[in-house]
Structure 1
Amino acid sequence: MNLRLRQEVAQHQETARRLERSQRRFLHAQKTEAIGLLAAGVAHHFNNFLTAIIGYGTMMLTRVPEAERERSHLGRILRAADRAAALNKQLLAFSRRLPSQPVPLNLRVLVRDFEKTLRQVTGDRVTLSTDLPRELPSARADAGQIEQLLLNLVANACEAMSGAGAITISTRAVSMPDPDANNGSIVLRDYVALSVRDDGPGMSPGVMERMFEPFFTTKRAGHGAGLGLSSCQAIAQQSGGWLACESEPGHGTEFTLYLPRVDAPAIEIARTDHPREAPHGSETILVVEEEPAVAEVVALLLRNLGYDVLVAEDEEDAGRAIATRGSRGIHLLVTDLKMPQTNGHDLIGRLALANPALKVLLTAGHAEPLPTGPAAAVPVDFLPKPFTWQTLARKVRNILESGVRNHGPPRNET
């Protein structure tokens, strides 16, 4: 009788522990979602401000002689803006609203091509090595997001080792139980794994329990926002995978990204060195943008490149602007999908019905759903905020000269 009672008590205790863990996970998920929504809203406005700062700054930099002291000041402004943009990117990654264009990737090639950038982060006192098997299946993900994840993990490893030690990046194909399998059944799935291992001090169980919490950091004040690992986890989840960690005090740390394998040839990611000179043009461009500072800087940059530019704040304003030229006189629409008075997709669709030759450049700092209805047939390209004037110039020229339809704006895959 006592044995049976002890068994029942043990079962009740285990049930209570499971319920408590479930409640903690639920509350954490709610908290994370709330912070994510707030972060996405803040990031949207910051991207607009940064677009104006970087746009004017990069334009002014080309007009100031090399020897002028003001050129150094402008450089510092732009470096600070770049750091702010990088932090904003982490906010968007954490909120799972980072613009995403997933394609089949070869992670071996991605790491090899990105290694030079990573070595700039590690410095001379950290040994960076790679273990990249030649034969590796493809994984579907956004190349820029995976590079951001790698950058965060390598930077974290360097800081954990106080700037001296060894980091190994490896890739491999693995078969593992699907963590999302129902009913406790074991279902093996094929994955591509990307690991970053360091020989630093490792983490305590207490730190590991909280490492993915937003804004949690073990760094001293002013040396990190505590978004690196939480944004890495969000990137992994947005890519359809997950991020695992193995660590022990005194024995280093290893983070591994698991991405589902896809049976498709990897897409080659273009990496070209663009010329300093920005391409010019003379076509008519309609800029529809709710934020005056962004509208002004985009219009100024395009006019300086020779384009005839019309500016509108919303759909009604756009209608008045079009009336002065006729809808068929508009060669390119540059717009942000997120506008208070109208839906960007509806605006694109209505303009496309009047002008079948219309092309569209979407500017936004966060993921948006793909166009539907009439807007889905319009040639669309995407330029994430913030951007430099050279990037804007190249993107505008490319879409105006191209007859090939792009796949549309990056979308949130979750």
Structure 2
Amino acid sequence: MKILVVEDDENSRLLQHYILDSAGYEVISAENGKDGLLLAESNIPDLIISDILMPVMDGYSLCREIRKNKKLYHIPFIFYTATYTSDKDKKLALDLGATKFIIKPMDPMEFLKNVKETLADNIQSLNHLNEKSPLELETEYSSVLASKLEKKVSILEEKQKELELSEQKYRRLVEVLHENYFFYAYDSNGTLTYISPSFTNVLGYTKEDGMLGIMKYLTDNPINKEALKKFELNLRGVRQSQYEVEMYHKNGSVRFLELTEHPVISNKSLKVEQIEGIAHDITERKLIESEKAKLQESLRRIEKNQALGTLASGISHDFNNILMCIIGYTEMLQLNLPKNLKWHSYIEQILSASKRASDLLKQILSFSRRTEQEKRPLKLQPIINEALELLRGSMPRTIEIQNYIDKHSPPVMADPTQIYEILINLCTNAYHAMREKGGILKVILSTKKIEPNQDYYDIKPGSYVCIEVIDNGCGIEKNIQDRIFEPYFTTKPKGEGTGIGLAVVNGIVQNHNGYIKFYSEPQKGTKFYIYFPIAELDCKEEKSNSEDLHLKKGKGEHILVIDDDVNTVRILKDMIVQLNYRVTCKTNSLEALSIFKSESSKFDLVMTDFSMPNIDGITLSKELLKVRSNIPIILCTSFNEIINEENTKEIGIYKYLMKPVTLRTLSHELSLILF
């Protein structure tokens, strides 16, 4: 059987065609009532299914014309609509001669059931035809049509308002995006076909400049190569995720853009017709991300330094106990061996190395804990000589070290360990600058006077001791010279430099009220100048390790020594006996407290370690003072942020000594307390 489908919506028409065709019906179709009427006259169907609201001729008019046509009036007619759905609409449809009135959408099986029923009941469906006069039908039709037109107009007005609101939102959005976004389009050949005016705001170039091709503004950043690959894939229809490019602004600065692209595919050829894209300037975001990364890296390094400090604090106790044994026994060898033996020079080297090891540990603790170091009037000549002696042994022969030391340069207020650190850092940097081709490293110590009328950098007028470290290596590039003192900034390959060397040097110099200046030329070399104010106090020359110790000996006084380390107890016992004192040693603090409680009167002084199991040195001292309030106590420690000389005195402790304790120090402190 043949069925005519009259429907202006293509998708709905095709769907009905498919359902009816699948059920075995022959289907013909038209887009409006006029074409449907002509098709019905030329190819008479067995059933007509029509929408109501259509252009040219609506469904009501088609139904009326069918019923007036002598060739067609008998054909069953179904209205299938989604627009005219009220009871009034249905009544008019049936009055005009419709066989059925069904509402979209309908289940396909239910739809076919209605079709079959209509074809079966064809004769009965004509009974209602012409029950009303043509005038009545025309009036009813006009009323329904007017109602639907009013409703349609109302819907169109609402849609128009929505469209206007949407346009306003879009306009506001474009205004907001004006500063940071621009739109663009490429054809299938990769030729730029459109670029929005906001391109000028983002990159500074005119729209005309941009239309000549924006790819020419790409930098040589490797990310741009990956970006071009993604662009090519988009042209081939393989849609890519957002990607970034780096481009030059007209003012020479570099801008980061985030591109979001959409390939437009042709419905006919299924090929890419064009690429539509939006570019977002994310430079500020990238800068924030970069700063955040730097802060995170800085935090990571701070945490690393704190971990180093914790580790250093932990090992300092054991390390200083070891040094105490080395120094103590070496000093006693020096004291008891004949002075003319050649072994004395070896002993001197052992003591010097041990002192350097002790200073090095203090330096590590100082750096990690940021503790204030003790400054004293200090001559720099011996420190420079010692540092250069160490460097000569560690540098290759391709580096020649020359030193010009003024023997008469006055002292400065300084910490010797930190001065040593300055020299090692600067000389090591100089070596790295010359290691490929070799060169000359010069270290100069001199005295300079800056006059009030002399414009010499920003250094205040006065007298200074100046250290110069000069190399003829690769030099420092001009564009990074302003950054060399920044913490963690380094030009060395990963794993070779930490970026803290010059930052530490700069910090030490400032802490000593000094000045650091430099001059560098690429491929010619670098000169560093460090100025320290001359000390107003006289410098006390440090005694040589080989000099007579002048030990003050006791008169048999009794000393109680408490330390949990057996080797430390042993060396302290030997040193105290060497100084003509009697000694009782304990490695258990609770046991020592018990002995003191029972025999406190026989002890003249107590010497205790701080860090011990059971009870620490502070707690032990408090308990000892409860037993005998006038007992002199010396507290020994390696490194501790909790205790210092001030708060130990508040407790009642006579003296606070840092390990390793030398024989000379022990002799001096015991004589001060007991004599």
TM-score, reference length from structure 1:
0.66
* 3-state SS of 2:657 partner: strand
The counterpart of 1:40, out of the listed 300, 313, 318, is: 313
Q: In structure 2, what is the equivalent of residue 181 of structure 1?
A: none
Offset at residue 295 of structure 1 (A): 0.9
* 3-state SS of 2:583 partner: strand
* Distance of aligned partners of 1:343 and 1:311 in 2 relative to their CA distance in 1, 3 Å threshold: same
Q: In structure 1, what is the equivalent of residue 611 of structure 2?
A: 338
Q: Distance in 2 between matches of 1:197 and 1:345?
A: 47
Offset at residue 35 of structure 1 (A): 2.1
Q: Distance in 2 between matches of 1:333 and 1:195?
A: 47
The counterpart of 2:550, out of the listed 262, 277, 286, is: 277
Matched, 1:165 2:442: yes
8 Å contact from structure 1 (residues 201, 252) kept in 2: yes
Offset at residue 127 of structure 1 (A): 1.4
User: Structure 1: which 5+ runs fail to align?
Assistant: 174-192, 260-264, 402-414
The counterpart of 1:360, out of the listed 622, 633, 654, is: 633
Deviations 1:349-392 (A, max 9, x none): 22223323222323222244237888614253233222332232
Q: Distance in 2 between matches of 1:227 and 1:22?
A: 15
Q: In structure 1, what is the equivalent of residue 41 of structure 2?
A: none
Offset at residue 149 of structure 1 (A): 0.9
Offset at residue 272 of structure 1 (A): 6.7
* Distance of aligned partners of 1:398 and 1:281 in 2 relative to their CA distance in 1, 3 Å threshold: same
Q: Which moved more, 1:287-296 or 1:36-45?
A: 36-45
Q: In structure 2, what is the equivalent of residue 183 of structure 1?
A: none
Q: Which moved more, 1:52-61 or 1:4-13?
A: 4-13
Which amino acid is 1:313 matched to?
T
Q: Distance in 1 between matches of 2:511 and 2:291?
A: 29
Q: In structure 2, what is the equivalent of residue 406 of structure 1?
A: none
Deviations 1:194-230 (A, max 9, x none): 97432224765799869977xxx99xx9xxxx99959
Q: Which moved more, 1:360-369 or 1:248-257?
A: 248-257
Which amino acid is 1:53 matched to?
I
User: Structure 2: which 5+ runs fail to align?
Assistant: 1-197, 204-254, 256-280, 390-400, 432-438, 451-463
* 3-state SS of 2:471 partner: coil
Offset at residue 240 of structure 1 (A): 10
Q: Distance in 1 between matches of 2:502 and 2:622?
A: 37
Offset at residue 25 of structure 1 (A): 0.9
8 Å contact from structure 2 (residues 634, 655) kept in 1: yes
Q: In structure 2, what is the equivalent of residue 31 of structure 1?
A: 304
Q: Distance in 1 between matches of 2:652 and 2:604?
A: 12
Q: In structure 1, what is the equivalent of residue 622 of structure 2?
A: 349
Offset at residue 46 of structure 1 (A): 1.2
The counterpart of 2:470, out of the listed 196, 199, 204, is: 199
* Distance of aligned partners of 1:68 and 1:147 in 2 relative to their CA distance in 1, 3 Å threshold: closer
Q: Distance in 2 between matches of 1:231 and 1:361?
A: 38
Which amino acid is 1:384 matched to?
M
Seq. identity, %: 20
* Distance of aligned partners of 1:122 and 1:75 in 2 relative to their CA distance in 1, 3 Å threshold: closer
Q: Distance in 2 between matches of 1:352 and 1:43?
A: 28
Q: In structure 2, what is the equivalent of residue 411 of structure 1?
A: none
Q: Distance in 1 between matches of 2:624 and 2:499?
A: 40
The counterpart of 2:366, out of the listed 93, 97, 101, is: 93
Matched, 1:381 2:652: no
Q: In structure 2, what is the equivalent of residue 148 of structure 1?
A: 417
8 Å contact from structure 2 (residues 485, 506) kept in 1: no
8 Å contact from structure 2 (residues 513, 532) kept in 1: yes
Q: In structure 2, what is the equivalent of residue 2 of structure 1?
A: 199
8 Å contact from structure 1 (residues 303, 309) kept in 2: yes
Offset at residue 48 of structure 1 (A): 0.8
Offset at residue 130 of structure 1 (A): 10
Q: In structure 2, what is the equivalent of residue 305 of structure 1?
A: 579
8 Å contact from structure 2 (residues 553, 671) kept in 1: yes
Offset at residue 78 of structure 1 (A): 4.2
Which amino acid is 2:420 matched to?
L
Q: In structure 2, what is the equivalent of residue 185 of structure 1?
A: none
Matched, 1:393 2:667: yes
The counterpart of 2:326, out of the listed 34, 43, 53, is: 53
Offset at residue 156 of structure 1 (A): 4.5
Q: Distance in 2 between matches of 1:149 and 1:389?
A: 25
Q: Which moved more, 1:302-311 or 1:201-210?
A: 201-210
Matched, 1:127 2:391: no
Which amino acid is 1:19 matched to?
K
* 3-state SS of 1:393 partner: helix
Deviations 1:27-73 (A, max 9, x none): 11112221222223223211111111221222123223345566566
8 Å contact from structure 2 (residues 586, 592) kept in 1: yes
Q: Distance in 1 between matches of 2:405 and 2:588?
A: 50
* Distance of aligned partners of 1:394 and 1:95 in 2 relative to their CA distance in 1, 3 Å threshold: same
8 Å contact from structure 2 (residues 469, 529) kept in 1: no
RMSD: 4.9
8 Å contact from structure 2 (residues 617, 635) kept in 1: no
8 Å contact from structure 2 (residues 593, 624) kept in 1: no
Question: RCO greater where, 1 or 2, for CA within 8 Å and sep 6 or more?
Answer: 1
Q: Distance in 1 between matches of 2:528 and 2:322?
A: 37
Q: In structure 2, what is the equivalent of residue 184 of structure 1?
A: none
TM-score, reference length from structure 2:
0.43
Q: Which moved more, 1:52-61 or 1:270-279?
A: 270-279
Q: Distance in 1 between matches of 2:558 and 2:507?
A: 38
* 3-state SS of 1:65 partner: coil
Q: How many residues matched?
A: 355
8 Å contact from structure 1 (residues 336, 363) kept in 2: yes
* Distance of aligned partners of 1:36 and 1:304 in 2 relative to their CA distance in 1, 3 Å threshold: same
* Distance of aligned partners of 1:348 and 1:255 in 2 relative to their CA distance in 1, 3 Å threshold: farther
* Distance of aligned partners of 1:14 and 1:120 in 2 relative to their CA distance in 1, 3 Å threshold: closer
Please list, as runs of the form range in 1=range in 2, the aligned pairs for 1:257-296 lying within 5 A after superposition. Answer: 273=543, 275-282=548-555, 283-296=557-570
Larger Rg computed on CA atoms = 2
* Distance of aligned partners of 1:50 and 1:94 in 2 relative to their CA distance in 1, 3 Å threshold: same
Q: In structure 1, what is the equivalent of residue 154 of structure 2?
A: none
8 Å contact from structure 2 (residues 560, 603) kept in 1: yes
